Structures are given as C-alpha cells and as structure tokens.
Amino acid sequence: MSKLFRAVILGPPGSGKGTISERVASIFGLQHLSSGDFLRQNITANTEAGILAKAYIEKGALVPDHVMTRLMLPRLEEMTRHSWLLDGFPRTLAQAEALNSACDLDVVISLNIPLETLKERLRHRWIHPASGRVYNMCFNPPRVQGVDDITGEPLIQHEDDKPEALVARLRHYKDVAKPVIDLYRAKGILHMFSDTETDRIWPYVSSLLSAKIPTDHADAQRAT
C-alpha cells in the first residue's frame, strides 16, 4: 500500500473549505473529516461533547480547545489506515500543537479569501439552532424559506453573521489563525491560495495534490 497522506485545510468561515474538501475527497480518495460536521453529529446524538459545544456554535464562537481535541484526536485514531483531509481543525495554536503530537502532516492548504467576499457569503447564512445545520439563502437554501428541511423548525441568523458583527468575527479568526499558519509555514508544509472564487482556486489545489499523491493512491484508498 502506498504511504498514507495527511492534509489539513485552513480558512475563515465561508472560505470554501467544505466545498474544496468534498472535491479532494472524491478525486483523491482522502477521507474528509469536517470538525463542524462532526460537532453537529455530536449535537444531534446528544453526546457530552455535543451538549458542551452547542452553546458555543449557536453564538458563532469557537468551541474550547480541550473539547475539540478530546473529540477529534480519538476520531483520527480510528482513521489510522486511511489518508485523510481535516477541515476546520486545528483552528487555534493549542489545537495545532495537540495534532502535531498525534501525527505528521504532509500538506496544509490555507484559503485566503478577501474580507468583502466572505462578508457577502456569510450574510446569507442561516442556521437551525437545535442541530447546527447550516443553510445559505443563495447557494443552498432550505426547501421552504425560513424553516429547517428535516424538522420544519424556524431558522435563525447568528448574531455574529449579521453585518455589524461579521467584520469583528472575521478579524478575530485572523488573529487566532495567524500562529497556526506561522507554525505550518515554519514546517515548510503550508500552501496558501488567494482568490474570490473557489473554482479559480481549485485547479491549483488539484495540481498540488496531484504532484504529492501517487496516482494509484486514490484507488487503493477507496478499496480499504
């Protein structure tokens, strides 16, 4: 079997991490583990971590580091036979250091999207508070306006996704992410991509990964 491949994708809320991760997973056969999706599954399943995380997610705040590492590291241990792409974790230096002590990364993809673009994407974001399900009124609207597809309950907009709070939140992201980005740059594994459109970033991500992942890897991974 070819060497396992470990990658992380970093980027602010709305930067396209999820969109790019899905393409990577389907083309290169990496398992996609999204911390946001995993938290939402835990909220739905009413686990201890889910109960702890819910209040933070509702406020649009970061879930504390100890909750995140206790949730994510055991999940990664279950994936030791797979190549993976982590989306949304680590978000802080403490999380990056915890990940560092658990495994070596091959590549870190960092999305650098202009503030105006993020503001435009996020101001259309609505959330189902009980489950954490996220909708975007332009790109993935609910079937019926204003209500959750699964439960029919009303959707809300994060106080933090409202225009007045957005800029402060995105600046806060930048402050928290900077030491994480610096750490990976110092390790020589950081690859930064800047543009306003995911479709224009994608060819560069794709060619980076094509150069790093052996051609037989995706098939071998899908077979495991």
Minimum distance of ligand G5P from residue 216's CB (angstroms): 29
Q: What pairing do the DSSP bridges indicate for beta strands 6-10 and 31-34? A: unpaired
Which is nearer to ligand G5P, 153 or 197 (by Cβ)?
A: 197
Which residue's CB atom is positioned nearest to ligand G5P? 36
Q: Check: CB of residue 84 under 8 Å from CB of residue 38.
A: no
For residues 104 and 49, give the distance between their C-alpha atoms in angstroms, rounded to a whole number.
25
Residue 68 vs 205, nearer CB to ligand G5P: 68
Nearer to ligand G5P, 14 or 217 (CB): 14
Give min distance, CB of 222 to ligand G5P, in A.
23
Taken as a whole, the chain contains a residue count of: 224
Distance in Å, CB of 180 to ligand G5P, minimum: 10
Please, what is the minimum distance in Å from the beta carbon of residue 206 to ligand G5P?
15
Burial class (CB in 10 A: 0-12, 13-18, 19+), 86: buried
Dist CA 38 CA 144 (whole Å)? 25
Please report, as ranges, the residues that interact with ligand G5P according to CB under 6 A: 11, 13-19, 35-36, 39, 56-57, 60-63, 68, 88-89, 91, 95, 121, 134, 136, 139-140, 197-199
Least distance in angstroms from the C-beta of 8 to ligand G5P:
11
CB of 85 to ligand G5P, least distance (A): 12
Q: Are the CB atoms for 24 and 205 separated by under 8 Å?
A: yes
CB-nearer residue toward ligand G5P: 4 or 137: 137
Of 49 and 63, which CB lies nearer to ligand G5P in the complex structure? Answer: 63
| Residues 45, 6: Cα–Cα separation, whole Å | 28
Residue among 6 and 217 whose Cβ is closer to ligand G5P: 6
In the chain, the largest separation of any two C-alpha atoms, in whole Å, equals 51
